[in-house]
Amino acid sequence: MITTGDIEDAARRLAPVIRATPTARSGSLSAACGRPVLCKPEHLQRTGSFKIRGAYNRISRLAEERPSAAVVAASAGNHAQGVALAARLSGLAATIFMPANASLPKLSATRSYGADVVTIAGSVEDCIAEARAFATENEAVYVPPFDDPLVIAGQGTIGLEIAAEAPRADVVVVPVGGGGLIAGVATAIHDRLGSARVIGVEASGATAMLEATRAGAPVLLDSVTTMADGIAVRRVSELTLAHVTAYVDEIVTVDEEEISRAMLFLLERSKWVVEPAGAVGVAALLAGKVPGTGSAVAVISGGNVDALLLTRLVGHGLAAAGRYLTLRIVLPDRPGALAALTAAVAELDLNVLAVDHHRSGTHLDLDEVEVLLTLETRDPEHRDAIVNILADQGFRASILT
């Protein structure tokens, strides 16, 4: 178990390296959540996430002890970039094993920090196995993403900063993957803001920490399924679980729609590009899953999202927020039927984004046609009202999910 003293040592070491990310109140989030909400914007940190903190705290100490050492790590993105930059700043060589299907921007960024990147046709677990074998064969030092006291202490510096920047916080909401971030933050908050609660947030398709707390020991999940790849971990460690058991009040989960809505909210209202894993704390607050009405701090842990993925996620978020819908409408196959439909849509003051017209289908009679309309809407209530209004006018309309 790390101590606040360990975190303070890490803070002194990190002071000349990390970028300041002051905790600040968000008016739009506060209004949407009905409580004061502040954000700790670690997506604005060097390398685009909090990972540089733990990586540098670990690797810079290694460089002092063994100036010729080499480091090795395995990651799909954020940890890779943190280790790569920390190694460069410390004057050490770094080899990073990454999945071959990792996003090109993350691969490119890791290489740009000076690391030798080795891609593996497999999962992150396969990369970890290769990295550990490489470390043994080459006498390199493996730097884990969360199962290391120095890494946890580095991440815990976020907790010290929150305590200084938001001393009246009632609750601190932290994303949870392997547990290194919340282990460090919760240790600091417990010591500095003893009355504040710490809530961890996992994706509902990757609940390794929640299952571990229920079982009292780390549990290996059969699989994880979530867009939040930064917290898609199948098993936490005994070390991170011990800190969570001691200092974390509750673990809650958010689903994919809630994550999408949070990302879209942060993009539109805060002008922040945040990755899915980084948005889960905000998602929990927006979904009303963080109990209480007092001041809440959401740790936004990262912003490294691929542009192509972001395009899909924005579309998913718009649909989840009720901002557009696709309708399937069955019309009689006769002149004027489509014109009548478009006229009805125009009267509802709807913007048409796409139209698909089909004369054949498995659920159509010979004298029927199918029209797929994608429409821009204001919110879920507006979306649902449209279907009812069209039905009242005699149209056979149904929502396509």
CATH 3.60.15.10 fits 4-48+148-318, yes or no: no
Q: Which secondary structure element, helix H or strand E, spans residue 134, and what is its range?
A: helix 124-138
Q: Where are the chain's structural domains?
A: 4-48+148-318, 51-142, 322-400
Same fold, 4-48+148-318 and 322-400: no
Nearest partner of 86 among 64, 53, 111, judged by Cα: 53
pLDDT of residue 279: 97
Q: Which residues contact 16 (CB under 8 A, 6 or more apart)?
A: none
- In sequence order, what DSSP letters do the residues of 64-82 get, joined into one string? HH-TT-EEEEE-SSHHHHH
Exposure on the CB side of residue 112, measured as CA atoms within 13 A:
9
How is the beta sheet containing 93-99 ordered, strand by strand?
116-120, 93-99, 70-74, 141-142
* Residue 362 pLDDT: 57
Q: Is 126 left (phi over 0), alpha (psi -120 to 50) or beta?
A: alpha
What is residue 326's predicted lDDT score, i.e. its pLDDT? 84
Catalytic residue of the set 26, 40, 49, 51: 51
Structurally, at CATH architecture level, domain 322-400 sits in 2-Layer Sandwich (3.30)
State the CATH architecture for 51-142. Answer: 3-Layer(aba) Sandwich (3.40)
Nearest by Cα to 40 from 156, 147, 205: 156
Q: Is 60 labeled as catalytic in the residue annotation? A: no
* pLDDT, one tens digit for every residue, the chain (401 residues): 999 999 999 999 999 999 999 999 999 999 999 999 999 999 999 999 999 999 999 999 999 999 999 999 999 889 999 999 999 999 999 999 998 888 788 888 999 999 999 999 877 888 989 999 999 999 999 999 999 999 999 999 999 999 999 999 999 999 999 999 999 999 999 999 989 999 999 999 999 999 999 999 999 999 999 989 889 999 999 999 999 999 999 999 999 989 989 998 999 999 999 999 999 999 999 999 999 999 999 999 999 988 887 888 777 777 777 677 888 888 888 888 888 988 888 888 888 888 888 776 657 777 888 888 888 887 777 777 888 888 888 888 888 76
301 is catalytic: yes
Of 103, 237, 295, 301, the active-site residue reads 301
